[in-house]
Homo-oligomer: A and B are copies of this chain.
């Protein structure tokens, strides 16, 4: 909603900054410089200052940033006070791992429900999250805006269409399938096999030295 002039590259780093600021705060640190933060998050300090500057003047020259103030600012900016409900589809290896993980720790997101096609899984719960049958998706989803997709690739398109029809806004897609959605839905792909393979490619074809 607000200002959408913030570069995407910046937006992707915000949750990272937020997490490290939280760490600093818990450590009792009162202030932090872009240089210190840079060493912690491995992002160039000029990039950090530039990122912050899109939100105005958050720091003080010669001093740095007040941890508590900055944390509070990012809490608001990242809507940390508002819970985002998430549904997970496919409670296999990967889905189960996510259900056991507490995304709430540094996060305003919570997996509220899971779906699976396997009747052995339906009716149980994992990590306190109830598992419903995928046939009941439309009945149970109840306005949840974000879905994590961890079904087999072959099932990805079908489920996606149903998620779109039911009005989902965002999908975090872990399947190797590149799903098709209307422009009103945002998809982030996390392709673990590609990540592993591209790491290997970089190792073999790039001089081991600079950047990450």
Q: Write the residues of chain A forming the contact surface with B, with a CB cutoff of 8 angstroms.
A: 1-4, 6, 8, 11-12, 14-16, 18-20, 40-42, 78-79, 84, 86, 93-94, 96-98, 100-101, 103, 105-109, 145-146, 148, 169-170, 172, 176, 178, 180, 183-188, 190-210, 212
Partner pick for A205 among B2, B98, B100, B101, CB 8 A cutoff? B2
B96 A208 Cβ-Cβ under 8 A: no
Known: A16-B194, A178-B41, A194-B19. A201 touches B107 (CB 8 A): no
A93 B86 Cβ-Cβ under 8 A: no
Known: A16-B191, A40-B178, A197-B109. A186 touches B172 (CB 8 A): no
B15 A197 Cβ-Cβ under 8 A: yes
Known: A93-B97, A107-B196, A169-B208. A15 touches B201 (CB 8 A): yes
Q: Report the separation of the CA atoms of residues A79 and B14 in the bound assembly, to the nearest whole angstrom.
A: 36
Known: A178-B41, A193-B103, A203-B186. A198 touches B4 (CB 8 A): no
CB distance from A160 to the nearest CB of B (A): 13
Contacts of A172 in B (CB 8 A): 195-196, 199
Contacts of A210 in B (CB 8 A): 183
Contacts of A19 in B (CB 8 A): 176, 193-194
A200 B97 Cβ-Cβ under 8 A: no
B178 A42 Cβ-Cβ under 8 A: yes
